[in-house]
Structure 1
Amino acid sequence: MIPAGSGTTSIGLRGVHKSYGRNLALDGIELDVAEGEFFCLLGPSGAGKTTTLKTVAGLEEPDSGAVELGGRDMTGVEPYDRGVAVCFESYALYPHRSAYDNLVSPLRSPKYRLPAAEARTRIHEIAELLGIEQLLERPVGALSNGQRQRVALGRVLVRPARAFLLDEPLSHLDAKLRQAMRAELKAIGDVRHTTTLYVTHDSVEALALGDRIGVIRDGRIVQTGTREEIWHRPYDTFVARAFGRPLINLLPGTVTADGHFGSAEGGFEVPLDVPAPPGTAVQLGVRPRDVTLGEAGGGAAGDGGDGAAGDGGTGGSGWVELTGTVYVTEVLGRATEVTVRLGSRQLSLVAPRAAAAGLRTDDPVRLRADLENLLLFEADRPERPGRRITR
């Protein structure tokens, strides 16, 4: 069993700012990671993920604000004394040494020194977990990028730590190994209960691993929450677009005189009771997997984008039904992605392969979605994404 280490700690960032010349990397970051929590920080390149991680580790000093570990202000505390273990995307290995020597190097330091036999046992345990036992005697310079990354991750896991700070640790692995390593990382977290701040640009990783997820954009935390909160109640269209493949559909429209959503072209109306004044520019968010597919007709109203809504006999939630024409289909194993024209707009959905079999371009189709699964946002602006409208 992997050793539990010397306890774990909470992580806190309090109004942290960091600039590199004129480039603002962190803009007042506020973040809390609970003791023993596996927290995923998700964002695109340049959002500030790695700078956040390095600031927690003490490798970067904030221009203002504070980093706390276990409630203690880390200002002036050297990285070596913070009790955190860091895995860098760039590996940071000794290329002239063997994989074994790289793995054992933390256990030879004065702070974490172990007897040779105990260190050897721990190294082989970690190597077996990561699938690199056969590589231990090879020089790191002779390993592939994926193998080096596993060695870098192993060097972090082998030593006791109050917190793990992992910077894109799976980014250089192939898809099959990445999936296997996600499962192993989750198992390690469940066994060790060590606080983990995991930086990634991959929403699948964040959803699979995170007890909670934080979404970062332009150096600021946009939203934190559980996977369910992030998925069902995204703060804005930036967060909504970050999760789910294919991407969420965002259909432009306005609030009607009845307080409903009306499409921009006037082709259809959705009775969502929007809490905004009539005429307000809004967007309707429809996730592709929340749309069901059927043949046109059977009660669907209109064509070329016209639609109808009703109670659907569901006892309260209601549904919206639209008709359109097929633009393109793409087979995805047991499912098929279908892109449908709604007037001049397009909407993507994922249907069972059997349901989409035989569809051709320009075929009429009927779409149906439960009102409970639809999202409403303000219209996007140049300075910021559209924020979710509470319903």
Structure 2
Amino acid sequence: MATIVLKGLRKTYGKVTALDGVDLELRDGEFFCLLGPSGAGKTTTLKAVAGLEEPDEGRVEIGGVDMDGVEPYDRRVAMCFESYALYPHYSAYDNMASPLRSPRYKVPADEAKRRVGRIAELLGISHLLDRNVGELSNGQRQRVALGRVLVRPADAFLLDEPLSHLDAKLRQSMRAELKTIGAVERTTTLYVTHDYVEALGLGDRIGVLREGRIVQVGTREEIWDRPADTFVAQSFGKPRVNLVEGAAAEGGRFRSPDGEVDIPLPGGVEIRPGRDLVLGVRPRDVALVRDGRPADGTVELRGRVYVTEILGRQSEVTVSVGESRVSLVVPREQAAGLGREDPVRLAVPTARLLLFDPADGGRRIAP
């Protein structure tokens, strides 16, 4: 196990800046997820740690040792690429065992067999070990490639979207297995993904990367409840967070331009009237009010149904509140019978409101 520290990493490819001053610290034994859209610099970060890319500026430390000038094979890291990179003429077993046979590790055959067998069982591919990889499906090859990394003696695992080629059901089960492997091995793991579900399900902590810069680092709860800005808020959750543009009004309130969204500012926030703001609330925090008064701690908004979509046992209802749109997720029976333009009442919890500053790149103001 080892810590991984990145200090001021910069990397450019011609006029494209892939990394723009990345600072990051992974704790010993931590499962850290790096989340970001395509082109954010996730894979470049992994390659810089592995020694496959030399940063233009900054440094990488593994286990407290500066990796400047240290070759990839001397860094004691194991990397799984998004592409399988398997030996096509080897069996699944031989692909997984190949690192253990190298002169660098010289793992005895019985120990190699034990390691491969244990990881293969966790990955659900024990029955495939004798097959040639050319006979395997894409998802099975992905698991073999992942297993080849996990069997290695390493101070850190570097995983580049290793579940991307699996179907939805298998991805869900594999997330659980990876979490189990991480808990058992306690090997520092840097896991790259564009899927917020994977990040929330796997990460002890999460780092959000955008255009080569770290936007926020925190636990799952911190990232979800207190996103650093509108980009982070929109990166987590489906349906996406509701964002309503408006401004501060007299009496400590937020008001949309048409006045239809008029809500008290989060407690303790003092903002001069007239300042532009963006109000955020997650769809699963909003409720329908069918009868009586809204619950304590909520404020009521009135609008008309724009569209209703069924999500299995739940429904997503999008409501037009004046010129603004607010989505919410409710049990399907609550949305039954709702049609376009039907009037509805919404209960918005004031304690769950988020406030952002559009003049400062959408940075969160409160709470």
Q: What TM-score, normalized by structure 1, do the two folds share?
A: 0.90
Partner of 1:103: 96
Partner of 1:275: 270
Cα distance in 1 between the residues matched to 2:110 and 2:292: 74
Partner of 2:185: 192
- The CA deviation at 1:93 is 1.3
Q: Which amino acid aligns with 2:169?
A: K
Partner of 1:335: 314
* Contact map agreement 1:37 1:194 (CA 8 A) in 2: yes
Report 1:142-153 matches (<5 A): 142-153=135-146
* Contact map agreement 2:139 2:167 (CA 8 A) in 1: yes
The correspondence for 2:342, drawn from 351, 355, 363, is: 363
- The CA deviation at 1:110 is 1.2
Partner of 2:105: 112
- The CA deviation at 1:16 is 0.5
Is 1:206 aligned with 2:199?
A: yes
Partner of 1:376: 355
Partner of 1:350: 329
Cα distance in 2 between the residues matched to 1:108 and 1:286: 54
Runs of 5+ consecutive residues of structure 2 not aligned to the other structure:
none
Report 1:239-254 matches (<5 A): 239-254=232-247
Q: Which amino acid aligns with 2:274?
A: G
Partner of 1:181: 174
Aligned-partner SS, 2:49 = helix
- The CA deviation at 1:83 is 0.6
Cα distance in 2 between the residues matched to 1:181 and 1:299: 45
Is 1:228 aligned with 2:221?
A: yes
Is 1:41 aligned with 2:41?
A: no
Q: Which amino acid aligns with 2:112?
A: A
The correspondence for 1:294, drawn from 258, 275, 289, is: 289
Is 1:62 aligned with 2:55?
A: yes
Q: Which amino acid aligns with 1:208?
A: G
Cα distance in 2 between the residues matched to 1:390 and 1:353: 32
- The CA deviation at 1:247 is 0.3
Cα distance in 1 between the residues matched to 2:3 and 2:270: 39
Partner of 1:128: 121
Partner of 1:389: 365
The correspondence for 2:87, drawn from 86, 94, 116, is: 94
- The CA deviation at 1:288 is 0.3
Partner of 2:23: 30
Aligned-partner SS, 2:329 = strand
Aligned-partner SS, 1:80 = helix
Cα distance in 2 between the residues matched to 1:389 and 1:129: 44
Cα distance in 2 between the residues matched to 1:133 and 1:32: 35
* Contact map agreement 1:291 1:349 (CA 8 A) in 2: yes
* Contact map agreement 1:11 1:34 (CA 8 A) in 2: yes
Partner of 1:82: 75
Cα distance in 1 between the residues matched to 2:204 and 2:259: 42
- The CA deviation at 1:299 is 5.4
Bigger drift between 116-125 and 334-343 goes to 116-125
Deviations 1:330-381 (A, max 9, x none): 11122111111111221110001222122111111110021010101112x6
Q: Which amino acid aligns with 1:286?
A: V
Deviations 1:216-275 (A, max 9, x none): 000000000001110111000000000011000101101113332111211231111643
Cα distance in 2 between the residues matched to 1:81 and 1:93: 22
Q: Which amino acid aligns with 1:182?
A: R
CA RMSD of aligned residues (A): 1.5
* Contact map agreement 1:9 1:163 (CA 8 A) in 2: yes
Q: Which amino acid aligns with 1:387?
A: R
- The CA deviation at 1:178 is 0.4
Deviations 1:129-172 (A, max 9, x none): 21212222222233221111101100011111101100001010
Runs of 5+ consecutive residues of structure 1 not aligned to the other structure:
1-7, 301-311
* Identity across matched positions, percent: 67
Aligned-partner SS, 2:365 = coil
- The CA deviation at 1:121 is 2.3
Cα distance in 1 between the residues matched to 2:136 and 2:121: 17
* Contact map agreement 1:238 1:385 (CA 8 A) in 2: no
Aligned-partner SS, 2:366 = coil
Q: Tell me how many residue pairs correspond in the alignment.
A: 365
Aligned-partner SS, 1:388 = strand
Q: Which amino acid aligns with 1:39?
A: F
Cα distance in 1 between the residues matched to 2:345 and 2:72: 59
